[in-house]
Amino acid sequence: MTSASSAKLQVRNISKVFETKKTKTDVLQDISFEVGSHEVVCLVGPSGCGKSTLFNVISQLDQPTTGTVIHTGRLAMMFQDPALLPWLTVDKNVAFGLDRKQYSKTEMSQLVERYLKIVALEQFGSAYPHELSGGMKQRAALARTLIIEPNIILMDEPFSALDAQTRERLQQFVQTLLQDYPVSIVFVTHDVREAVLLGDRVLVLTKRPAHIRSEYKIDLPRPRRSFDSNLDSYIRSITEQLQAEALLYT
């Protein structure tokens, strides 16, 4: 399915060691995977195993100790924290990543308006981030990511801090996004149901140092709903994998 030629993102033999004067922490150990175009790959793994570190390496915010990352097209990351800039209004936060030389002022505000509508925040353009709820902040961050029309989006537990209803809405939103845009997504989550709901494949990571323990192909039609009963068998076996992982060497 993901032959090297159609792959949007190739992660090859990535290892990462954090070194301080006294300690050496192995965080990632020989991680390789590919993400095809229009594919969603979900990563699940124990807390602190190195998922955010892997994303930092993929997005080149951090250097790997060994290995390479190859991607085609534009890559954007949604952080675990919405990371809106508190000194800018929502409008300006959403426009933050747009290249100012490429767009006129009116084009920019039209784009911002369009993407605010997509995340249902059109009435909050002139608010400051502190005036938004947690879910609204995360949606604004999503608009800021989508507006640059990335080919690959890395999402680091983007919905974990949200209430169940908002999360459900945004999960559905991600699925419609997949229909409308040719985008590839790598999605980190703690929530196995969310992984099965959104993923074409789910990769289970081990405890630190993280490597890929197992891989599941989720052969279910879309759109999926989180209460669909055909998710359950996948959820059961992935959860078992994670539990086995938690029991190892403790």
Partner 1 sequence: MNKFTHSFLKPLLGWVGLFLSWEIVVRLKIWPTYIFPSPKRVLMVWWDLLTSGELLPGVFVSLQRLGIGFMIAVCIGTLIGLGLARNKNLKQVFGGLILGLQTLPSICWLPLALLWFGLNEKAILFVVVMGAVLSITVAVEGAVRTIPPMYLRVGKMFKLSRWNIYRRIILPAMLPTFVTGLKQGWAFAWRSLMAGEMLFITAGLGQLLMVGRELNNIAQVMAIMLTIILLGLLIDLLVFGVAERHLHKQWGYIKR
Ligand X SMILES: Nc1ncnc2c1ncn2[C@@H]1O[C@H](COP(=O)(O)OP(=O)(O)OP(=O)(O)O)[C@@H](O)[C@H]1O
Q: Site map for ligand X, 119-158, x if CB under 6 A?
A: ----------------------------------------
Member of 137, 208, 211, 224 binding ligand X (CB under 6 A): 208
Pairing mode, strands 152-156 and 75-78: parallel
The piece of 41-49, 91-99, 114-122, 132-140 that touches ligand X (CB under 6 A) is 41-49
Member of 5, 22, 24, 47 binding ligand X (CB under 6 A): 47
Which residues inside 140-199 make contact with partner 1, applying CB under 8 A? Answer: 148
Contacts of 121 (CB under 8 A, 6+ apart): 90, 136, 139, 140, 143
For residue 54, the 8-state DSSP code is H
241 binds Mg ion (CB under 5 A): no
Nearest to 212 by CA among 67, 13, 4, 10: 13
53 binds Mg ion (CB under 5 A): no
Nearest-5° angle of CA 80, CA 36, CA 198? Answer: 50
215 binds partner 1 (CB under 8 A): no
Quote the least distance from Cβ 245 to ligand X, whole Å.
Answer: 13
Helix residue ranges, H only, the chain:
51-58, 90-95, 105-118, 134-146, 164-180, 192-198, 232-247
241 binds ligand X (CB under 6 A): no
83 binds partner 1 (CB under 8 A): yes
Residue 37, phi then psi, degrees to nearest 5 = -70, 140
3-class secondary structure, 128 = coil
Member of 2, 29, 52, 241 binding Mg ion (CB under 5 A): 52
Note whether 43 and 92 are within 8 A (CB): no
Binding site for ligand X (CB under 6 A): 18, 25, 27, 47-53, 80, 208
Contacting residues toward partner 1, per CB under 8 A:
59, 61, 76-77, 79, 81, 83, 85-88, 96-97, 128-131, 148
